[in-house]
């Protein structure tokens, strides 16, 4: 079955209530984020606005994040990461959406909406600022976490892709150096809940080429994750994948899909497979340790989540039809890969 998976009314209502009454108390972990790749310059930018209200009520903060990375001609990677922390009441909550496609956040000098994002973040002598418009190339919005897992409270979080296939234009300034961006591919997303996941691997790419070197009409978004069940005990790994291929969305978002998708990962690589009917997708996303930025997030119970994140990963996806290879796609240094765990990757320094 093909066709886009819509965001449930239950998820929309929960997002609205959390965002509209953020100061009312209760544990909360919520992040609005966007990422883009400036392909000719081998540059990437990830920006985020996050909220944290701990279970015990002692930690109530809002934070603005940005990570810019650049791969040089010699394959060396330089990274600049900045974060500013504010009191929770500094966050300007979005109004209750009149449309399920409304999503926005504002904190300090930073703003993220569906049509634009702008901001400035300063920390430890570093500064990243940006002023960008964004527009969808393909209409693609969905909830990645299977609905039954949320309904039966096997997970306390939702992961929503707001725009899976967007392009960004404008300017980025990193420590005074200005970069002009013209239709750079990227995405926008939002996750929220009373508890973040226990651990996860997540990937995205909308800048593929074919074996002949032509632009590839493929968009990928996926996650393999574990929730926390009782105490420190995590759930089994479950997966959710989405492919936009030949102008159709193949969404593997159901509980049945989650149990049938094949997925494995290491500290630097993620492999995944999904099939439905006569079509079969196989993918690999990988990066070197030096490509990753180490980020630290806090759970609502006070424990830490260590995230190795890069938007300079390589991704390959092969599409089979009735057992025969139909198409092959490759993305060099322009795919997003995020590996989050309760233990730190010893080979990736923590930047934030």
Rounded to an integer, the average pLDDT of 55-69 is 95
For 107-164, how does the pLDDT look when each residue is reduced to its tens digit (9 = 90+)? 999 999 999 999 999 999 999 999 999 999 998 888 888 776 766 566 778 889 999 9
What pLDDT score does 246 carry?
93
Res 6 pLDDT > 70? no
Res 288 pLDDT > 50? yes
What pLDDT score does 231 carry?
63
What pLDDT score does 93 carry?
60
Domain ranges across the chain: 9-341
Rounded to an integer, the average pLDDT of 89-110 is 68
The CA distance from 241 to 8, in Å, is 17
Find the range with the poorest average confidence among 84-98, 230-244, 279-293, 332-346. Answer: 84-98
Res 9 pLDDT > 60? no
Find the range with the poorest average confidence among 233-237, 274-278, 298-302. Answer: 233-237
Res 23 pLDDT > 80? no
Res 97 pLDDT > 50? no
Rounded to an integer, the average pLDDT of 78-104 is 74
Which span out of 41-45, 158-162, 224-228, 283-287 was modeled with the highest average pLDDT? 283-287
């Amino acid at each position: 079955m093909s066709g886009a998976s819509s965001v449930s009314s239950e998820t929309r209502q929960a997002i609205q209530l959390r965002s509209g009454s953020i100061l009312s108390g209760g544990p909360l972990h919520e992040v609005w984020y966007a990422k883009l790749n400036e392909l000719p310059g081998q540059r990437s930018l990830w920006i985020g606005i996050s909220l944290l209200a701990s279970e015990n009520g002692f930690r109530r903060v809002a934070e603005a994040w940005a990570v810019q990375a650049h791969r040089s001609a010699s394959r060396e990677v330089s990274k600049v990461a900045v974060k500013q922390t504010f009191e929770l009441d500094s966050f300007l909550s979005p109004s209750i959406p009149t449309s399920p496609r409304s999503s926005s956040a504002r904190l300090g000098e930073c703003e993220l909406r569906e049509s634009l994002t702008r901001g400035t973040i300063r920390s430890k002598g570093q500064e990243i600022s940006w002023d960008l418009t964004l527009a969808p190339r393909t209409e693609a919005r969905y909830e990645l976490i299977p609905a039954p897992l949320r309904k039966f409270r096997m997970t306390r979080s939702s992961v929503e892709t707001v725009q899976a296939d967007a392009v960004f234009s404008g300017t980025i300034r990193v420590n005074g150096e200005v970069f002009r961006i013209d239709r750079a591919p990227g995405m926008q997303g939002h996750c929220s809940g009373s508890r973040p996941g226990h651990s996860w691997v997540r990937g995205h790419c909308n800048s593929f080429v074919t074996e002949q070197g032509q632009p590839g009409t493929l968009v990928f978004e996926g996650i393999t994750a574990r929730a926390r069940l009782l105490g420190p005990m995590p759930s089994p790994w479950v997966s959710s994948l989405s492919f936009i291929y030949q102008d159709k969305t193949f969404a593997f978002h159901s509980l049945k899909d989650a149990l049938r998708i094949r997925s494995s990962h290491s500290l630097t690589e993620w492999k995944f497979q999904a099939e439905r009917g006569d079509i079969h997708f196989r993918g690999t996303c990988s990066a070197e340790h030096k490509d990753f930025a180490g980020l630290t997030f806090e759970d609502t119970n006070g424990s830490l989540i260590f995230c190795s994140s890069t938007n300079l990963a390589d991704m390959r996806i092969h599409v089979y039809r009735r057992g025969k290879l139909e198409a092959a796609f490759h993305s060099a240094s322009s795919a997003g890969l995020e590996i989050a765990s309760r233990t730190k990757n010893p080979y990736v320094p923590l930047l934030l």
